[in-house]
Amino acid sequence: MKLVRYGEHGTEKPGLIDSAGELRDLSSIVADIDPYTLSRESLQRLAAVDPSTLPKVSGTPRFGAPVAPVGKMICVGMNYAKHAAETGAPVPDQPVLFMKATSAIMGPNDDVVIPRGSTRTDWEVELGVVIGETARDVPLEKALSHVAGYVVVNDLSEREFQFEHGGQWVKGKSCDTFGPIGPWLVTADEVPDPQSLRLWLEVNGHRYQDSNTSDMVFGVAKLVSYISRYMTLLPGDVISTGTPAGVGLGLKPPTYLRPGDVIELGIDGLGRQRQQVHAHPADQGNAR
Percent of the chain beyond pLDDT 70?
Answer: 99
Mean pLDDT value of segment 205-213: 98
Mean pLDDT value of segment 162-186: 93
Percent of the chain beyond pLDDT 90?
Answer: 92
Residue 286: its pLDDT value, please?
65
Question: What is the rounded distance in angstroms from the CA atom of residue 22 to the CA atom of residue 50?
Answer: 13
Residue 287 has pLDDT above 70, yes or no: no
Question: What is the rounded distance in angstroms from the CA atom of residue 84 to the CA atom of residue 249?
Answer: 11
Question: What is the rounded distance in angstroms from the CA atom of residue 181 to the CA atom of residue 169?
Answer: 20
Residue 128 has pLDDT above 90, yes or no: yes
Residue 151: its pLDDT value, please?
98
Residue 168: its pLDDT value, please?
75
**Residues carrying CATH 3.90.850.10, the chain:** 73-283
88: confidence class by pLDDT, cuts 50, 70, 90: confident
What value does the mean pLDDT of the chain take? 96
pLDDT in tens, 9-59: 999 999 999 999 999 999 999 999 999 999 999 999 999 999 999 999 999
Neighbour count for residue 93 (Cβ, 10 Å): 6
Q: Please give the full DSSP string across the chain, using - where no structure is assigned.
A: -EEEEESSTT--EEEEE-TTS-EEE-TTT-S-SSTTTTSHHHHHHHHTS-GGGSPBPPS-PPB--SSS----EEEEES-BHHHHHHTTPPPPSS-EEEEE-GGGEE-TTSPEEPPTT-S-EE--EEEEEEE-S-BSS--GGGGGGGEEEEEEEE--EEHHHHHHSSS-HHHHH-STT-EEB-S-EEEGGG-S-TTS-EEEEEETTEEEEEEEGGGBSS-HHHHHHHHHHHS-B-TT-EEE----S--GGGSSS-----TT-EEEEEETTTEEEEEEEE--GGGTTS--
pTM of the model: 0.96
Residue 284 has pLDDT above 70, yes or no: yes
Nearest-5° Cα angle at 80, 191 to 260:
85
CATH superfamily ID and name for 73-283: Fumarylacetoacetase-like, C-terminal domain (3.90.850.10)
Mean pLDDT value of segment 210-229: 98
Residue 94 has pLDDT above 60, yes or no: yes
Residue 288 has pLDDT above 60, yes or no: no
